[in-house]
Amino acid sequence: MYPHVFPIEDWPIVHLNNDRTEFLKQLKAFTTERILDITGDKLSDEIAKTIFKERIRIKEEPWKVDPPDERGFWGKIRKKLVKQSLDKEGAVAADNNREIVERIVDRYAEEIVGNFKIPTFRFARKFLTIFFKRLLNTAAGRNHRRIWGTRHQLQEKIVTLGEIDALRSLTQKGTVVLVPTHFSNLDSILIGYALDSIGLPAFSYGAGLNLFNEGILAYFMNRLGAYRLDRRKKNLFYLETLKAFSNLTIQRGVHSLFFPGGTRERSGAIENKLKMGLLGTAVEAQRALYQQEKDTKIFIVPLVLDYHFVLEAKALIDQYLKREGKERYLDSGRDFLSFRKVTKFFWETFSESNEIVLSFGKPIDVLGNFVNEEGDSLDRWGKVIQLKEYFISDGIVKSDLQRDEEYTKILARVIVDRFHKENVVLNSHVVAYTAFNILRKQNNDLDLFGVLRLPPEDYKISYEIFVSAVEALQERLLLMEQKDEIKLSEAVKGSSIDLVKGGIKNLGLYHVDEPLKFDKEGNIISQDFKLLFYYHNKLEGYNLAKYVQWDNFEIQLVQ
């Protein structure tokens, strides 16, 4: 455990919560002006469009967490638009429209902005530590006959590695925006625990509005700095309020976390396309700080999460295949979590030699340049550059949304590149990638959906052939690590025999139908091709097929 860089009373998120009322006023005013500027003389049309979308949402996608006056609120907005704006002209219509915008923004802002309570945070920190340690030691006790022993330490199971010292330094020199990959609803919990374990202050982060509904989870979410996201709302007013919230909190120095992929990656692959909305708020916030003649730097830190198995994998890959295959695929997955599933997930994670890895990447500035521990931006040759100069036009820092959009695209490309280079390959990833490629080679006359429809008994491969294929993949991965193109866990660097045995064991710990397992004769079989495809995808995007020629292996079906 690391010492905390700041006492909790000095955390930026605590200051924001203490100033919540004033911040809400600032957020509403900022968002209103931004919307008026964007819409211009099309404001009435945009209001009408928003009313229509919201009434459809209320009818077709109602949630328990929705306020009871939803229909009444939008009914009143509609009446005000029809009676006081559409049949008026000039300044009268403009004033009425402005009032409508303020009312809508006020509603969205009150919904989005969260709270942070120090006593609740301290309790949650203690609870999670006890929960994880108890589960870890109980899982260890299953094999070592000890319940409260110290052999298995929590930090050995939730592994944090990478640029931790730089991250700790930068939180004291500017504002950090953490951009993680996203695979599970447990990501936020694990990241929050990891950040606390390395001594960082709490980060502001977004969570689905549905998680604020009721029960113990909602209690904590409402008090631990989470702001509310409602992905059903896709209208301009809501999106601009959300982006304004992110922009202004970053300007205030609140360290932030958001998933740039937007939602959990259904395929299991590392994200290669990012959402520009929230990511762009970091660029705008940096420019705004320079306009205010502040030298505060914003630092972007990629974070890659690596699991041997993902809690919601079966449901996620079903959703992905349904989206991609349409009528060629039948959806059988349900994305449902329960305390029993979460407990089982952590039980299996903490048993045997399993782990969850959080790889903190090299910090960059909002233009994608690397930064050192002092916060200096560096060019490709390691020379210090002045970031502020990239926001100057005609001798002054100017607002230029088109330029900011281009900077955001550059930043997104760099983050995707860093995701792939900071990814830590686990032994389970290697065996899944190897097995699925051999499966495809055995059935190269079928497309993906044809392969996924095969009965499991059609797939069986000899142990010797499998190990040979793993060795070839291992050789390429080791070379890639030497070139800083990827990171490898120690298990992947060891013997191919241990890699195969450990990878197959880890991959089969959680799921009822195992993606890979040994049969009685020691051959490799799969009980679930979809899950195998999901875990195989973690190594997609590296062009490995170019270097590992599956044709070189004599694929032997074992009878």
Looking at 240-363, which runs of residues are DSSP E strands?
Answer: 256-257, 297-306, 356-360
Structural domain count of the chain: 2
Buried/exposed 377-398: b ≥16 CB within 10 Å, e otherwise: beeeeeeeeebbebbeeeeebe
Looking at the fold, whether 229 and 364 belong to one and the same domain comes out as: yes
Q: Pick from 422, 440, 457: which residue ends a domain?
A: 422
Q: Residues 408, 548: one domain?
A: no
Provide the pLDDT for residue 329.
54
Cα–Cα distance measured from residue 243 to residue 360, given in angstroms and rounded to the nearest whole number: 25
Residue 358 near residue 305 (C-beta atoms within 8 A): yes
- Same domain for 410 and 513: no
Closest CA to 109 of 219, 230, 261: 230
Say if CB 132 and CB 190 are below 8 A apart. no
Q: Is residue 138 situated within a structural domain? A: no
Query: pLDDT per position in the chain (559 positions), as tens?
Result: 788 999 999 999 999 999 999 999 999 999 999 999 999 989 999 999 999 999 999 999 999 889 999 999 999 999 999 887 776 667 888 889 999 999 999 999 999 999 999 999 998 888 877 777 776 666 555 554 443 334 346 677 889 999 999 999 999 999 999 999 999 988 988 898 899 999 999 999 988 887 776 666 677 777 788 899 998 999 999 999 999 999 999 999 999 999 999 889 999 999 999 999 999 999 999 999 999 999 999 999 999 999 999 989 999 999 999 988 765 555 554 555 566 777 777 777 776 667 899 999 999 999 999 999 999 999 999 999 999 999 999 899 999 989 999 999 999 999 999 999 999 999 999 999 999 999 888 888 899 999 898 888 878 889 999 999 999 999 999 999 999 999 999 999 999 999 999 999 999 888 889 999 999 999 999 999 999 999 999 999 999 988 877 666 654 444 3
pLDDT for 142:
52
Rounded CA-CA distance 222/211 in Å is: 9
Report the alpha-carbon distance of residue 71 to residue 508 in Å, rounded. Answer: 48
Domain boundary among 379, 397, 422: 422
538 part of a folded domain: yes
Indicate if 85 and 207 belong to the same structural domain: yes
Residue ending a domain, choose from 379, 404, 422: 422
Give the per-residue pLDDT at 334: 52
Q: Are residues 414 and 542 in the same domain?
A: no
- Classified as helix, coil or strand, 203 is coil
Residue 328 inside a domain? The answer is no
Q: Which pLDDT score is estimated for 354?
A: 77
Q: Which pLDDT does position 342 carry in this prediction?
A: 74
- 335 located within any domain: no
Residues 394 and 510 in one domain: no
H helices, E strands: number in the chain = 20, 16
Do 368 and 478 fall within a single domain?
A: no
97 shares a domain with 185: yes
Tokens at 219, concatenated: 């209690």
Cross-strand bridge partners of residue 397: 392
512 located within any domain: yes
241 and 292 assigned to the same domain: yes
pTM reported for the whole predicted model: 0.91
Tell me what pLDDT residue 551 has: 64
My answer on whether 364 and 488 are in the same domain is no
In a domain, 135, yes or no: no
The predicted structure's pLDDT at residue 148:
39
Residue 487 phi, psi (nearest 5): -120, 150
> From CA 490, how far away is CA 425, in angstroms rounded?
9
Compute φ and ψ for 393, nearest 5 degrees: -135, 135
DSSP state of 83: I
At a CB cut-off of 8 Å and minimum separation 6, what does 143 contact?
351, 352
294 is in which domain, residue-wise?
1-112+166-302+360-422
Residues 444 and 365 in one domain: no
DSSP-derived 3-state class of residue 306: strand
Q: What residues contact 21, with CB distance under 8 A and at least 6 apart?
A: none
Residues 95, 210 within the same domain: yes
- 372 inside domain: yes
User: How much is the pLDDT for 145?
Assistant: 41
Q: Is residue 453 part of a domain?
A: yes
